[in-house]
Structure 1
Amino acid sequence: MYTHMMNITFPDGAVRQYEAGATALDIAKSISEGLARKVLAAKVNGEVVDATRPITTDATLQLLTWTDTDGKSTMWHSSAHLMAEALEALYPGVKLGIGPAIENGFYYDIDLGGRTITEEDLRKIEAKMVELSKQNSIYTRAEVSKADALKYFTEKGDEYKLELINDLQDGTITFYTQGGFTDLCRGPHIPNTGFIKAIKLTNIAGAYWRGNEKNKMLTRIYGITFPNQKELDEYLTLVEEAKKRDHRKLGKELELFTFSEKVGLGLPMWLPKGALLRERLQRFLQEAQMETGYLPVVTPHIGNKNLYVTSGHYEKYGKDSFQPIHTPEEGEEFMLKPMNCPHHCELYKASPKSYKDLPVRFAEFGTVYRYEQHGELHGLTRVRGFTQDDAHLFCRPDQVKEEFMKVIDLVLYVFNSLGFTNYTAQVSLRDKEDRSKYIGTDENWELAEQAIIESAAEKGLPTVIEYGEAAFYGPKLDFMVKDALGRKWQLGTIQVDYNLPERFELEYIGADNARHRPVMIHRAPFGSLERFIAVLIEHCGGKFPLWLTPTQVKILPISDKTQAYAEAVAAALKKADIRAEIDDRSEKIGKKIREAELAKIPYMLVLGEKEATDNLVAVRRQAKGDLGAMTLEQFVGLVNEEVVNRKPFE
C-alpha cells in the first residue's frame, strides 16, 4: 500500500521526510526520546498546535519546550484547565468564564454562586491540582458542532459558555477534555497533565464578565506552574523582590508622589522630591534634544473636537480616550487632549515651509488625558493623566531614514544613561490579514515599514517583528526593556507616519517650486514620565543614579557641637551644586545612618568633633559602608565625577 510522504522543514533549514499523519510528538521521538519527553506543543507553519495533532502536508515545524515562550504559554493554558477541573471537584455547580494564559501564568474567571474564596481555599485548590496532575490525564481535542456544544453546556447549566458559543460559527468549535473535565477551547494544550509538577495560585481578584462593567462581577483566580519545584521557588523569590521594589510602595516611602480620591482616581500628584526628580529627567532630555536640533513648543491641555476628527483619532478611539469639556457656548465641543500630534500638525501649518527648512523637530512635554476603567488603574503605570516626552519631526521623504536613525541614537542614549542596557527593538507592523484597521495607502505603509526595518538593521538592534501591533496611522519601533528582575516593559517608541500630514494637508515647497507632503515621525524615548519613573523605581529599587536622585547627600552631625560645621558643609555643597540635607535631630548616629540607608540616600557625611577640628568629612556610601575621611574638596570631586559620567545605580 502506497504511503504519502511529506517534507518537514526544521528551524535550522534541515528537511526530513515523514509519513503523512505523523504528529510533532512522533517526529520528536524519531529524533530523541529525551527530546520527546520535553515537547509541550508545536509550531506548524507558524501556528501553535497540539504536539499530538496529525500533520498531513509539507510543513515547517518547531518543537516547543519549556524554554520557548509559546511552550510556556501552552502549559499555562493547560494549567488553567487543570485548575478549572479542581474547582469543579471542590465546588460542585461552579460556573466557568474564560481561562487564558497570560505573560506570567494564567487565570480563570469563575462564578462561585455566592461563595467566597480565601487564601486558605487557594491552598486546597493547589493540593487538588497536584493530585489531578499526577493522574497524567491526556488533553484530548474534539471538533464539535454548534448544536452539540449548545446542548452540552445547556445540560451543564453554564450560561457563560453558552454566550461564548453563540458568538461562534458552526464548524469552528472545539472541546478539550482531560480526566473528567471538558471545556470549550481553541487550544492548544500540552500532551498530558503530568508535565505540571509545581503549582502556585497567587492572587484573587474581581473581574466583570467580558470586561463589561454592566455584567456580573466574577472571581478571578491567578496562578502559575512550572515543570519542577526549583523553578517555582526561584520565581517566588523574584516575586518577593518585586514586592520590595513596587513603585507604589517606594513612591510613598521616598515621598515622591501621591494620589487623592478627591482629586480623582488615576491622577498622580508629585510631592517635592518627586517633582525634583521628574524635572531633572525632563531637563536631561531637553538638553539632549536641544543639542540635536529640536525646537520646544507648548500646546493647550484641550482641543476642539474637530481637531481629533481631522486626525482620525476620534473615529478610532471615540469615548474610550476622549473626555468632553462642557462650555457655555452652544454647539462648541472641546475635549481634554488625549495626544499631542494633532496640535503639532497645526503648529507646522502656522507658517509656510520650504524644503530647506526641513526637517522641523517640535518637542513638548505635553500632559494628556485618557479614560481608563477603574479596575485597570495601577500606580503610575496606568493612569488617566500623564505627561509624554513627545516630539514630532516633519521631514522630506529622502530624510526619513536618517532622521529615524538619529532618533534611535537618542533613545539608546537615554536608556544607557539610566542603566537600561537589556532591550529588544520590536518592529510593530500591520496585521497581515486585516488591513481595515489602518488608514492610508499600501504604498505609503510599505515605505514607512521599510524605513523602520532598514534603520533597525543598520543600527544593529536586536529586533523582533510583531504583526498587528502598528498604530492605526503607521508602523513603529517599540523598545521592550528588561529590568533588573528580568521583567519586560515597553519603554520608548518611534513611529513613521505618512497619513497625518495627508489629513492635515501639510506641505512644503520643494526645490522644483512645487508643493509636496512632508513625512511625520512621532517619538517618545520615555513614553510617559509617569510610566518611565515607575519602571525606573522598580529597576533600581529606589536607588536612583546619583545625578538624578533628589537628595544626594545626608549630613549627619554627631552632636549639637558640630551643628555649625554641618551647616558650613551644607552651604559649601550647595555652592558646588550638590543636593544635601542636614539631619539635625537629637538621635543617636546609628539611627540616623540606618534611616538614611532606608531612604536610599547615596552618600552620608558623619561629622564629629574630630572632623570639625580637621576640616574633614567621614564618608559613607549607601549599601557599601565607610569610605573613610577626606577633605570636602575631595568629596566634591568624588561626587562630581560620578554625576558628570552619569553612572547608573549600583
Structure 2
Amino acid sequence: MLKVVLKDGNVIDCNEEEGRKALRHTASHILAQAVKRLYPNAKLAIGPAIENGFYYDFDVEETFTMEVLENIEEEMRKIVKENLRLERSVMSREEALKLMDEKEEPYKKELINDLPEGEELTFFKQGDFIELCAGPHVSYTSKVKAFKLLSVAGAYWRGSEKNKMLQRIYGTAFGKKSELEEYLNMLEEAKKRDHRKLGKELKLFSLMDEGPGFPFFLPNGVVLKNKLIEYWRELHNKYGYVEIETPMILNKELWETSGHWSHYKENMYTVNIDEEEFAIKPMNCPGGMLVFKSETHSYRDLPIRAGELGRVHRHELSGALHGLMRVRAFTQDDAHIFMLPEQIKDEIKGVTKLIDEVYGSFGFKYNVELSTRPENSMGSDEEWQLAESSLQGALEEMNMDFKVNAGDGAFYGPKIDFHLQDSIGRTWQCGTIQLDFQLPQRFDLHYVGSDGEKHRPIVIHRVIFGSIERFIGILIEHFEGKFPTWLSPVQVKVLPISEQYNDYAKSIVNKLEENNIRVKLDDRVEKIGYKIREARNERLPYIIVVGEKEQNAKNMSLRSRKNGDEGSVPLDEFISRITMEIENKMLDD
C-alpha cells in the first residue's frame, strides 16, 4: 500500500483507489515542476487528478508539441529520481499572496483571493517547487514510477471562453509499469475504435462546419438510431410506460418555475417570439411536469410512468465538443414516474430491471453507485431519509453490489448511477435514477388521495441510454463498428461474381427483403475479390456470393463475420438462421 499525505498532514496507508488518485495528483505537481524548470516564465493554473490520469494548465508563450512533451517527460523522470519529499505547510492569506507575488503566479493569486475568509491555505513543497494545494499526495516523488504524458489541448481559464486560452497537458500515472503498459495498449485500441473515424468510414454520421456540435445522421446512421428507438419503445411498452412528447420551445416563465432560468441559463439557447422570451429546452423534465398537471389524478392512477424521446439543446463550449460524445443537440431517453411514497422501492426495482435488460442486450457489464444528500440540498430531513432508504433498500433487495458516494447526490434528491463497461475495459456513465421532491412542489403537482385530500406525488427521473447520440458513439467503439446483426444498418450484402448472375442475385435480394432482412446488392462491374474486401471493411454480418455453381445448385456461398467462409448454404436455411438471430437480438460470441 502507498503512504499518502492527507489534507491535515497525516500520513496514512491507503487503498488502491485513494492511492492511485494521490499518485496522479503528485504526478501533476511533478509535471508543473518540470515545466517551471524548462520554462521559468510559465504561469501555473491548476493541475488535478482526474479519472484515468491528471492534467495541468499552463500560460506559456511556447507551443507545447509532442516533441516538447518528450523533453518535459524526461525532466519529470529526473525529479522522480531525486526522491523529493512532499512537505505540507499552512500559510495565512497574506503570506500566501506574498509568496505568489514573489513567484509571479497571477492565477494562484486569483484562486487565493476567491477562497472564503478563514479558509485554511495549505501548500505542498517538493525540493524548490511549492504549490497551493489541499492534497492528498504520496510522500516522495520516487513513488511516481510509471507515468506518461499523452496530449495537449486548449483550455480556457476556469472554463470560461471570456478568459485566456491556456495549454493543458494531459498525462496518466500508475503504481506499476505493467499497469501503465496495459492502459497505453487500451488507448491504442481505443484509437482504432474511435467512433468519429468509424462513423465516417461506415457512413453513419457526419460532423460539419455548418453545424458545430449538431451532428448530421446519414442513411445508415438513421437506421441504427431507429432500431435503438424501436427497441426502447418495445421494452417500455413491456414495462408499463406511456409515451409523451413535449414542445421543444417553451416560455421563460416555465424555466423560472423549474429553476433553470436562474441556474442554467448560460447553457440555454433563447429566442424571442411575439416580444416574449422563450428557451429551447435543455432537458425534458419541466414539460413532463406540465403533462402530469394537465389533468386531475387519483391515487389509484399512480404510478404513472411517462417516457419521452425528447430532443434537447445545450450550449456547450466549442472546445468541449467531441464527436457524438459531447454535442449541442441530442435525444434524451427520459422518463418521469409519478408515484406514492410507498411505491418508491418497487418502482426503483422496476427501473433497475429495465436498465439491466437493456445493458445485457448489448453485452455490457456495469457497476452501480448510490449518491446521497449533498451539502446544498433542498428538502426536509424526513424526505431525504425516505428517499435514501428507499433507494438503498431496493438495491439490497435485488442483491446488487453498489458503492455509496456520500454527498454526491443532486440538490433535489439522491440518485443511482449505472457505469457500464465496454469491451476494452472503459467505463461510461449512462443510466441514472434520481428521486425528486422539489419539482412537484415548484409546479404544484398533486393527486387526490384515499382520504379525498390533495397530496404531492414523488417523482423519479431516469434515463437508460442517456443521450441516444452518445450511446451510439459508445456502441460504435464497443463493437468496433461490428454491430450485432439485429442492429446492423445493412445485415447482408449479395455479390454476383459477374453480370450474368445479376438476375439470380436479385432474386435472393427479393427473398431476403420479403423476410424483412436489410440487404444490399453490389452488382458493380468489379472483380469479386475487390467487392468482398470492400464488404468486409464495412463490417457486415453476412456476405453472400453467387456464381455459376450457386445458380445451378439454387443455393449460395455464405461468408459470415464470425465464422468466415461457410461454403454453400440453402437460402431458406439462412433466412431461418438470420431471422432467429435478429428476433433474439443475439450477440457474436
TM-score, length basis structure 1: 0.87
Secondary structure of the corresponding residue to residue 326 of structure 1 = strand
Alignment of 1:272-421 (within 5 A): 272-317=219-264, 319-327=265-273, 329-330=274-275, 332-420=276-364
Question: 1:424 maps to what in 2?
Answer: 367
CA distance, structure 2, for counterparts of residue 488 and residue 398 of structure 1: 34
Alignment pair present for 1:494 and 2:421: no
Shift of 1:472: 2.8
Residue 108 of structure 2: aligned partner: 161
> How far apart are the structure 1 equivalents of 2:314 and 2:416?
22
Matching residue's letter, 2:544? L
Q: What one-letter code is carried by the residue in structure 2 that aligns with 1:89?
A: R
Amino acid paired to 1:165: I
* Contact 1:485–1:539 (8 Å) recurs in 2: yes
Distance in 2, matches of 1:84 and 1:502, equals 49
Identity of aligned residues (%): 47
With over 3 angstroms needed to count, the CA separation of the structure-2 counterparts of 1:223 and 1:577, relative to structure 1, is same
Among 401, 408, 418, the alignment partner of 1:462 is 401
Letter matched to residue 375 of structure 1: G
Q: TM-score, normalised by structure 2?
A: 0.96
Aligned to 1:627, the other structure's residue is in SS state strand
- 2:418 and 2:430 in contact (8 A); partners too: yes
Cross-structure match for 2:179: 231
| 1:339-395 deviations in Å (ceiling 9; x for gaps) | 112112211122222222222222211101111111111111111111111111212
Deviations 1:128-164 (A, max 9, x none): 1112211111111122222222222212222122222
Shift of 1:558: 1.2
Q: Which amino acid aligns with 1:335?
A: A
Aligned to 1:616: 555
- 2:450 paired with 1:511: yes
Would you say the 8 A contact 1:41–1:49 is kept in 2?
A: no
**Per-residue displacement from partner, 1:223-280 (whole Å, max 9, x unpaired)?**
1223343332222111110011111111111111112232x32111211111111111
Distance in 2 (alpha carbons) for counterparts of 1:485 and 1:64: 27
Query: Shift in Å at residue 590 of structure 1?
Result: 2.0
In the alignment, what sits opposite 1:12?
A: none
Contact 2:432 2:464 in 1 (8 A): yes
**Does the Cα contact within 8 Å between 1:40 and 1:74 map onto a contact in 2?**
no
CA shift digits 1:462-513 (9 cap, x unpaired): 2111133322322221111111111111111112222222222222222222
Distance in 2 between residues matched to 1:379 and 1:128, nearest whole Å: 34
Instruction: Determine the C-alpha separation between the residues in 1 that align with 2:153 and 2:417.
Output: 30
Q: Deviations over 1:92-144 (max 9, x none)?
A: 222211111111211111122x2222211111111111122111111111222
- Following TM superposition, by how much is the alpha carbon of 1:539 offset from its aligned partner in structure 2, in angstroms? 1.2
1:571 Cα offset (Å): 0.5
Q: 2: CA distance between counterparts of 1:312 and 1:116? A: 42
Amino acid at match of 1:246: D
Unaligned ranges ≥5, structure 2: none
Contact 2:80 2:144 survives alignment (8 Å): yes
Distance in 2 of aligned mates of 1:129 and 1:623 = 46
Deviation larger for 194-203 or 548-557: 194-203
Alpha-carbon shift at residue 336 of structure 1 (Å): 0.4
SS of residue matched to 2:138: coil
Query: Aligned partners of 2:150 and 2:95: how far apart in 1?
Result: 35
Q: For each residue in 1:585-620, what CA deviation from the matched residue of structure 2 results, as whole angstroms up to 9, or x when unmatched?
A: 222222222221211101111112101111111111
Q: Which amino acid aligns with 1:64?
A: C
Q: Distance in 1 between matches of 2:444 and 2:450?
A: 19
Q: Which consecutive aligned stretches of 4+ in structure 1 deviate over 4 angstroms post-superposition?
A: none
The answer to whether residue 2 in structure 2 is matched with residue 39 in structure 1 is yes
Query: Is the partner of 1:289 in helix, strand or coil?
Result: helix
User: Aligned partners of 1:160, 1:310: CA distance in 2, in Å?
Assistant: 37
| CA 1:534–1:376: 2 relative to 1, 3 Å | same
Equivalent AA in structure 2 for residue 408 of structure 1: T
Aligned position for 2:471? 532
Q: Separation in 2 of the partners of 1:590 and 1:568?
A: 22
Structure 1 residue 637 and structure 2 residue 576: aligned? yes
**Which residues of 2 match residues 125-136 of structure 1 at below 5 A?**
125-136=72-83
Whichever residue aligns with residue 469 of structure 2, its letter is E
Partners in 1 of 2:404 and 2:185 — Cα distance? Answer: 32
Does the C-alpha gap of structure 1 residues 511 and 229 become closer, same or farther in structure 2, counting only changes over 3 Å? closer
Code of the aligned partner of 2:268: F
What amino acid maps onto 2:266 in structure 1? D
Q: Which amino acid aligns with 2:368?
A: A
**Is this contact kept in 2: 1:145–1:171, CA < 8 A?**
no
Shift of 1:574: 0.5
Residues 607 and 617 in structure 1, CA contact (< 8 A), matched pair in contact too: yes
Determine the C-alpha separation between the residues in 2 that align with 1:170 and 1:496.
35
- Given that 2:340 and 2:458 are in contact with CA atoms closer than 8 Å, whether structure 1 keeps it comes out as yes
Offset at residue 215 of structure 1 (A): 1.8
Structure 2 counterpart of 1:563: 502
Give 2:342's aligned amino acid.
D
| Other-structure match for 1:19 | none
Q: Which residue of 1 aligns with 2:27?
A: 79
Question: Is the Cα–Cα contact under 8 Å of residues 311 and 500 in structure 1 kept in the other structure?
Answer: yes
Q: Is the 8 A contact 2:495 2:546 kept in 1?
A: yes
SS in 1 for 2:123: strand
Distance 1:483-1:462 versus aligned 2 partners, 3 A rule: same
On the 8 A contact 2:562/2:588 being kept in 1, the answer is: no
Distance, in Å, in 2 between the alignment partners of 1:631 and 1:250 is 33
Letter in 1 for 2:85: I
Deviations 1:507-549 (A, max 9, x none): 2222222222222222211111111111111111111111111
Name which of 482, 485, 491 aligns with 1:552.
491
Amino acid at match of 1:207: A
Counterpart residue number, 1:268: 215
1:74: how far off? 0.7
Give the whole-Å Cα distance in 1 for the aligned partners of 2:157 and 2:277.
Answer: 34
Look up the equivalent residue of 1:394 and give its one-letter code: F
Task: Give the letter aligned to residue 536 of structure 2.
Answer: E
Q: 2-side partners of 1:351 and 1:174: how far apart? A: 57
Cα distance in 2 for partners of 1:88, 1:309 equals 47
Larger relative contact order (CA 8 Å, sep ≥ 6):
2
Q: How far has the Cα of 1:49 moved from its partner?
A: 5.2
Map of 1:597 onto structure 2: 536
Partner of 2:38: 90
Name the stretch that deviates more: 248-257 or 84-93. 84-93
Pairwise CA distance, 1:623:
5.1
Q: Distance in 2 between matches of 1:109 and 1:275?
A: 39
Alignment of 1:77-226 (within 5 A): 77-112=25-60, 114-168=61-115, 169=117, 172-226=120-174
Change (3 A) 1:438 1:229: closer
The structural deviation recorded for 1:441 is: 2.6
Distance in 1 of aligned mates of 2:588 and 2:319: 33
Amino acid at match of 1:345: M
CA contact (8 A) 1:322 1:335 kept: yes
- 1:287 & 1:293 partners in 2: Cα distance? 10
1:64 aligns with 2:11: no
Shifted more, 350-359 versus 624-633: the winner is 350-359
CA RMSD of aligned residues (A): 1.8
Gapped runs of 5+ residues in structure 1?
A: 1-37, 43-47, 56-60
Checking the alignment, whether the CA contact within 8 Å between 1:40 and 1:75 is kept in structure 2 is no
Find the aligned partners of 2:32 and 2:449 in 1 and give their Cα distance: 65
Output the amino acid matched with 2:572. Answer: E
| Equivalenced residues, count | 588
